[in-house]
Amino acid sequence: MSNSLFSKDHPHYKWVALSNTTLGMLMATINSSIVIISLPAIFTGIKINPLDPANVSYLLWILMGYMLVTAVLVVTFGRLGDMFGRVRIYNAGFVVFTIGSIALAFDPFTGGHGAVWLILWRFVQGIGGAMLFANSTAIITDAFPANRRGMALGINQVAAIAGSFIGLIVGGVLADVDWRAVFFVSVPVGIIGTIWAYKSLHEVGQRNVGKMDWWGNALFAGGLTALLTGITYGIQPYGDSATGWTNPWVLAGLVGGAALLVAFVVVELKQTSPMFEMRLFRIRAFSMAILAGLLASIGRGGLQFMLIIWLQGIWLPLHGVAYDQTPLMAGFAMLPITIGFLIAGPLSGTLSDRFGARFFATAGLIVVAITFVLLLLIPTDFNYAAFAVITFFNGIGSGMFGAPNRSAIMNSVPANQRGAASGMAGTVQNSGTSLSMGIFFSLLIAGLAASLPSTLLHGLTAQGVPDKAAQSISQLPPVSSVFAAFLGYNPMQTMLGPAGANVLDTLSASAQRTLTGTEFFPNLISQPFHSGLFVVFIAAAAMSVIAAIASLVRGKHYVHELHTQNVADSVATTAPATEKA
């Protein structure tokens, strides 16, 4: 046995594997949310107004492109890991991600060209992130014995889930320094992680060598890309509608994407060496864990987006925080969720090693569902202590679910399918985030569209804005004010600036201060927002309950290699003596 800590035979090698893969997951997930907070600084840096209708596509692709590419490619890279080595693909992911980060930090252009540069290199980052996502949990599963995987995957999953919230804080802090720092911060981490990965990680898992399934890859990538792109554009206004779900291109993306994914399933069932072994879904422990993971990811993503809008558009301004400071302060306000993850994730993962995932994952989802309902019971201008307690328990519930569920997924499949299984779990997590934005933004906008125009009209005319101008502003799509609040812009300043700058000049100084102050818009939107929030959180609570039911029926603690060994032992025990001989 080698004395080197970096030898695969060293008894502590598993901790080296865990620490490196956790660093990779943390870096990848922080970058999935870091631009949410820093988008205003980024667009200011490249001299673009993100709220100009002509620039909305830039906004959406910089925001969603990374997650979409990661979601689409993670299963492919999981399969490649099974074929050519999980460590090899994972290490390449660090390299690709770091190259993308360097290119993003040194964007040489401004205007539309600068935005396109960022979008393309975010795609490259997404490719690297997919390599990391697809193989990190498989590497951990290979390195740890079955009775310690829950604890190890718990730590890894805490990094994966908490990273999306930590990214909000990091992005807010760095955006105040320089927009390029938002991307450059990943460069030293990527370089260190790359060197460390190539020096320390070794192939210890079983490979599943076979031919590359080009048809399967093409159908899956095409179908998921079309579906998620359609959902992304579904939140943009179309014609007289507040959302774009009636846009023929959106409908084509949704229907065509779904059709390609159905074709993918048919093709995979006939392949001798498929990209993903669809028969794994016959394993109830695997299929129910995947379903629960998808629903939980949608709910978690919806919570993140809704809390950002709630905090930045209403609560923080009402408490005297300037709009340009709300993104950073919103990140700090959501710290209780991250703390809950950090406490519950490793603990529930460790306990699930002994008692199985079903109890912890199911109970965690029930806790999450309850917190969604509790968030509806507090006023829009809430007491922060109550908000902190509720969101803390939401983090606890998510931590109770995340680690045991991922451990159950990885334990339920054969050793030579762990890369593909890890990829499917990653696809579910990242697709859920993209789906949540389309679903919950649309629900929120639909709720706002019912009452915001009339509320806005009465509020503006009460401050002396002429009826014609007030009517024009009140008919702007609700997504405009939602995106303004989401990005940390003053919504009224944004709407009154381009639409009514001359009108502002005709109003009294007092009316101007009132309209563009930190209280007018939050007070105006509170009731319409709560109506939209009610629909969103009820839907999220329902998804969490359905996920809990799926988790409950997954069956008892199931470890594939132990199950296979038990079956083999049973056959050997009951076989006739002549057969044993």
417-450 tens-digit pLDDT: 888 888 888 888 888 877 887 788 787 887 777 7
The whole-number pLDDT of residue 291 equals 94
Query: Model confidence at 581, in pLDDT bands (50, 70, 90)?
Result: very low
Report d(CA 581, CA 569) in Å as an integer.
15
CB 77 within 8 A of CB 119: no
Q: Which two tokens stand for residue 75?
A: 């299963």
Structure tokens at 568: 């083999």
- Higher confidence at residue 166 or residue 20? 20
Segment 219-268, tens digit of pLDDT: 988 998 898 888 878 877 788 787 788 899 999 999 999 999 999 999 99
Q: Where are the beta strands (DSSP E) in 492-552?
A: none
Please tell me the distance from the alpha carbon of residue 429 to that of residue 432, in angstroms, as a whole number: 5
pLDDT by residue (tens digit) across 534-552? 888 999 999 999 999 999 9
Percentage above 70 pLDDT, the chain: 92
Point out which residues pair with 79 in neighbouring strands: none
Q: Report the topology of domain 13-202+273-447+529-566.
A: Growth Hormone; Chain: A; (1.20.1250)
Query: Residue 488 carries which side chain, given as an amino acid letter?
Result: G
Assign 500 a pLDDT band (cuts: 50, 70, 90): very low
Reading the block at residue 231, the tokens are 């959902």
Find which of 55-64, 177-186, 553-562 is predicted with most confidence, using mean pLDDT: 177-186
Domains of the chain, residue spans:
13-202+273-447+529-566, 212-272, 448-528
pLDDT band of residue 8 (cuts 50, 70, 90) is: low
Nearest to 457 by CA among 447, 466, 446: 466
Concatenating the DSSP letter of every residue in 217-278 gives HHHHHHHHHHHHHHHHHTTS-BTTBSSSTT-HHHHHHHHHHHHHHHHHHHHHHH-SS-SS-G
| pLDDT recorded at residue 91 | 94
Pick from 257, 266, 289: which is nearest to 424 by CA?
289
Task: Give residue 400's Cα distance to chain centre.
Answer: 18
